[in-house]
Amino acid sequence: MTLLVIRDAEQAVKQMNVPKMLVVSVPIAAVLSISGLVLSMQWKAATEIRELEGLLSHQSEALEVTVKNKDEAIQRLQNEIIRLSSETENFKHRLNHMSSLEKQLEDFVEGTSAVPQKSGEEQARFVHSTAWNEQRQVGGEEIGVGLEQMLELAERSRLDLVQMQRMLSSIQRSAPAVLNQAQKKQELIAGTPSVWPTKSRRLTSSFGYRKDPLTGYAAFHAGIDIGGETGDSVLAAAEGEVIEADFNTSRGNYIIIRHVNQLDTWYMHLQQIHVSVGDQVDKGDIIGALGTTGRSTGPHLHFQIVERGEPIDPLPFLGDAAAADTPPEGRPVKVSAASGVSGPGSSGPSRSPSSPPSVTRLSPLPKWIMGDAQAYGT
């Protein structure tokens, strides 16, 4: 192949002979170079695309995991909010129940209510039965909960917690005083005579004026006489301190126990004394044995209650105890405070702050109490 090179008009034409192989090989080489370059760029692009696709796939999977984790976290938070809301509601019920018990305790201390309406065991069962327990959920209609409802539930729970905090603060402020009053009430109940002092329920003399068994003349009887067997146990009618335990020609072996509310109980004509001055006794403790010592004509217990130095009728205090073991031959009936004439210094149970409002008396005294027995002593 010949190539003519013409540079300008004044210069001679230059002739160049180019081999055919070169003419063919150069275009082929150029095409191959361009093709190689294109292929190289295409391969590089494909590699980068694959890398980008892999990275995108990895990021997509990571994003899916993140979204799934967030969904699970949101679900857990929703469940936690529901659980906390349920526990808050349950705790609120318990606080309301506690507040109700506190009110009942206050009423009991103030004397406006006898006893709480439910026992501690029943209250414990109530609290346990109403407690929230996730395992107890067994089914129901599925209703979706949105973010707005969850926020509303969380806000309601927050307000409930604020209210419960106020209730707890109120209970914490009032509980010590109420417990102190309850303790005093318990001490008052424990120290108020209510236990029948002997196993026998057979009255041989009641409180008030009577015919003296020794002189035959009318005399004031400052207590009640309970007939029994010599050696029968004599019980403390209430909790208190023994202030006297001695012998007297009239009282025989006798014990005086001081209780709360300026009340004293006297136990006379004992065969034996089992306590000493200064001893603390509980309600129902054995303090002596029934006998017939002193001014007495037969085995019996003279039981007497003295308030602020003046004798009062013991039966209003022992009415329920007397009725507890009443045989079928007779039953105690409700009558006025004084079935007979009260002695000087005694105005019946109405003047005693620890006496019940009504009096359980046996009037007329049936045979299973009195029989044909005579009065035995003082």
Q: How far apart are CA 330 and CA 336, in angstroms?
A: 19
Q: How far apart are CA 259 and CA 240, in angstroms?
A: 5
Indicate whether 49 and 186 sit together in one domain: yes
Indicate whether 229 and 264 sit together in one domain: yes
Alpha helices per DSSP H over the chain = 20-110, 120-130, 147-190, 315-324, 367-370
Q: How far apart are CA 141 and CA 23, in angstroms?
A: 87
- Residue 302 covered by a domain: yes
pTM over 0.75: no
Indicate whether 215 and 181 sit together in one domain: no
- Residue 123 covered by a domain: no
pLDDT in the model for residue 346: 32
pLDDT in the model for residue 158: 75
- Residue 259 covered by a domain: yes
Q: How far apart are CA 176 and CA 268, in angstroms?
A: 42
Burial of 205 (0-12, 13-18, 19+ CB in 10 A): buried
Residue 210 is part of a domain; what is its CATH number? 2.70.70.10
- Residue 378 covered by a domain: no
Q: How does DSSP classify residue 368?
A: H
| Structural domain ending residue among the three candidates 160, 190, 220 | 190
Indicate whether 154 and 243 sit together in one domain: no
- Residue 171 covered by a domain: yes
- Residue 195 covered by a domain: no
pLDDT in the model for residue 247: 96
- Residue 10 covered by a domain: no
pLDDT in the model for residue 263: 93
Q: What is the SS3 assignment for 167?
A: helix
What tokens appear for 205 in the block?
């003399």
| Structural domain ending residue among the three candidates 135, 163, 190 | 190
HSE-CB at 205 with a 13 A cutoff on CA atoms is 28
- DSSP characters for 124-139? HHHHHHHS--GGG---
Indicate whether 101 and 225 sit together in one domain: no
Indicate whether 348 and 274 sit together in one domain: yes
What is the count of structural domains for the chain? 2
Indicate whether 155 and 221 sit together in one domain: no
Indicate whether 176 and 289 sit together in one domain: no
| Structural domain ending residue among the three candidates 190, 218, 248 | 190
Q: What residue numbers bound the domain in which 344 lies? A: 202-370
- DSSP characters for 197-228? SSS--EEEE-SEEEE-TTT-SEEEE-SEEEE-
Pairing of strands 224-227, 263-273: unpaired
Q: How does DSSP classify residue 374?
A: P
Indicate whether 218 and 248 sit together in one domain: yes
Q: How far apart are CA 314 and CA 237, in angstroms?
A: 10
Report the chain (378 residues): mean pLDDT per 10 consecutive residues: 69 72 79 87 89 89 87 79 75 74 70 48 48 47 60 76 77 76 81 91 87 78 93 95 95 95 94 96 95 92 94 86 41 32 32 35 37 52
- DSSP characters for 17-58? E--HHHHHHHHHHHHHHHHHHHHHHHHHHHHHHHHHHHHHHH
CB contact at 8 A, 245 and 273: yes
Indicate whether 175 and 211 sit together in one domain: no
Indicate whether 222 and 328 sit together in one domain: yes
What tokens appear for 41 in the block?
């760029």
Q: Hey, how many other C-beta atoms are within 10 angstroms of the C-beta on 194?
A: 18
> In one letter, which amino acid is 184?
K
Indicate whether 238 and 332 sit together in one domain: yes
Burial of 352 (0-12, 13-18, 19+ CB in 10 A): buried
pLDDT in the model for residue 274: 96
- Residue 78 covered by a domain: yes
